[in-house]
Amino acid sequence: MNYTGGRVNMKKNIDSVIDRIDLMLKTTPESYSTSKQLMVHREFLIESTNYLKNFNHTIAFIGKVGVGKTTALSKLLNLLDGNGNEVLQTGSGRTTVCEVEVRESNRVSIEIEPYSNEEIEKYLEEFHMHIENKTSNKTSQSESFTLSSEIERALRNMLELKIRRFMENGKRKRVDDAVELYNKCNSKDEFYQELLHRIDLANRTTTELVATTSDYKEWIRSNFEDINNGKNKNISLPKKIIINIDENPVNIPNINLSFLDTKGVDETVNRQDIENLLKDSYTISVLCTSFNDAPDKVNTGTLKYMKDSGLTKYISERIIILVLDKNGEAEAIPDLEEPDLEDGREIRKEQIEGDLKNSLGLEDIDIVFFNSKEDGTEELMSILTDKVLDLRKEHENKVKTIIESLDEIEKQIDTQLSSEALQRIRESVLVWIEDAKNIQCKLKKNFTHILDTIQDKGTHASVIRACVNRRGQWHNLDYYKILSDASRYQTVKAFDESKNKLSHIISNMLKQESLKYQKSTLISIQNVLEKRVEEIYEEAYAMGACVYEDDLYEDDNLWSNMIWEWGKGPGYKNRIANITEQWFLNQDYDAFDKEKSNILNSMWQELLIEINNLIENEN
């Protein structure tokens, strides 16, 4: 389908279909199930049409720190200089300070979305703590404060406070300029004020650089490195870097495709930026892993998160596992009689599929292998672009199916065969409805998930301190997101099994020739079921934190008390967990949980009524 050439025609054709539905609605009594079906078809026709009007798609690379995402992306987009080196700065991990987007434009430029001054001041406070810890012997090793190496590197360059290494009298010496400055200051506040002065945020206001040379790859390499490392004195600490290139690396006519290199995962995959990508219907998420670790903790953690969040149906549609193998790894598989790259990859693929099936019960996930140093890019790029086009084809097919359903309604509305088919559908669906009426969601103590996360051995004390310093909002530990996730998890657990049962029933009925006269009914039920249940889950997520959010964030005493717990010795994580738990226990959480549960249960009952209306007898 030529999307550009067909945009006007598509709109005209869809408008005519909507007019057709509206005309049918005028001649169909509102009490008839056919009228309800027509309304559903109208809703989903508009939804799919609106989807197809948007031509912007993203391919996002997600993976643990140092797995090779940036190198693979550079090779895929030919962001290599004349010597074959990556234009985007790479290393052994913890190199890129933020997420990086590459997209086609009519000019070569680099855009910077900076952290706010308030956010940077928080980083400076933590840099202050980091340096203070280095000068003190009081803090235990388990509760020492550390910054991520990429943030620390950028801040040191912005502050011009480097760690200098040199030889003196035949011995290696190391001098930390920040420690030297700290020791010269008369107070902690004087040191912090000096940091504010040095970083000079007032003059770091540039948010775009435009290439002025024909050698754009060298220009990107040089400027990206400076921005990423905090070396450009006119640019603030980047939250996101957007690289615009004036060539199309992807051959999909009329589709605006961007590539996103996400910030490497270290502590947890439960990050808001990653969730936004997983839930985005225009995004293909590429889960990167090494050959020997596949599927690694980031892969399995991401997939489990999607499953627990009620997003299982999107895994096969929007996810690719990209195994980044290195020379010799596939050939060294023990099961091979003699070294063979393709056989080795095939054996490893079968092992990965087995692991995912056994651990998560998941099948039909695309698993692709790519050696950034040796492989060509054509096959991988083709797989990725086909995946994007499949997202659009799903909505094109939905539009086509709706139009076919309208034809069936006009042909079969008064036939005996249509009535018999409807009766068979009613019998099966009504049994499901009666069972589903008894299902109840009972939310309970979502805040306990925060306590579990804080006390988890994988959660570092400095992550908790960074979270506390931001009143519960930190990418690796977010009180509000955890509350929302816990609410959604419990809701999915309550309703998903029943939803899947009806979905299976409808899928089987759609394959039966004798029920083809009521295809419109089945399609309506299927669309309503998926959409409304997804709305229930999103409502659960939205409500999870909302009843606490304002009071929690604005409680100065709570956050002040937790800030003062830092530096008091062993047991910091337990103290923060106890203070957090006591705050929630002081809230009327039982009433909140009951109120939220009632809303979700009402939405579920409304879904049952809507499905019942789609299968009512028309007499």
Q: 240-249: per-residue pLDDT in tens?
A: 999 999 877 7
Task: Output phi, psi for 329, to 5 deg.
Answer: -70, -50
How confident is the model over 111-124, as pLDDT tens digits?
Answer: 999 999 999 999 99
DSSP 617: -
Q: What is the pLDDT of residue 281?
A: 96
Cα separation of 468 and 583, whole Å?
A: 14
Cα separation of 74 and 88, whole Å?
A: 7
Neighbour tally for 390: CB within 10 Å: 12
Mean pLDDT, residues 253-272 taken together = 88
Calculate the average pLDDT of the chain: 91
Q: What is the pLDDT of residue 2?
A: 36
Please identify which residue in the block is written with the tokens 């400055």: 181
Task: Output phi, psi for 261, to 5 deg.
Answer: -100, 100
Cα separation of 176 and 206, whole Å?
A: 29
Q: 99: part of which helix (H) or strand (E)? A: strand 99-104
Mean pLDDT, residues 176-191 taken together = 94
Helical spans, DSSP H, in 413-515: 416-436, 448-455, 461-469, 479-510
pTM: 0.91
Cα separation of 269 and 62, whole Å?
A: 9
Q: What is the pLDDT of residue 92?
A: 58
Q: Hey, is 118 helix, strand or coil?
A: helix
Give residues with Cβ within 8 angstroms of 402, minimum separation 6: 17, 41, 44, 45, 48, 523
Mean pLDDT, residues 582-588 taken together = 96
Q: Identify any residues that bridge with 176 across adjacent strands, giving them in sequence order.
A: 163
Please identify which residue in the block is written with the tokens 């589903």: 436
Residue type, 560: S
How confident is the model over 164-181, as pLDDT tens digits?
Answer: 988 888 889 899 999 999
**Do 271 and 453 form a contact (C-beta atoms < 8 A)?**
no
Cα separation of 418 and 518, whole Å?
A: 6
Residue type, 99: E
Which band of pLDDT confidence, cut at 50, 70 and 90, is reported for residue 4? very low
HEC sequence for 362-399 = CCCCEEEEECCCCCCCHHHHHHHHHHHHHHHHHHHHHH
At 254, list the tokens.
């009329």
Which band of pLDDT confidence, cut at 50, 70 and 90, is reported for residue 212? confident
| 32 compared with 288, residue with greater pLDDT | 288
How confident is the model over 338-348, as pLDDT tens digits?
Answer: 888 999 999 99
pLDDT at 7 over 70: no
Give residues with Cβ within 8 angstroms of 247, minimum separation 6: 104
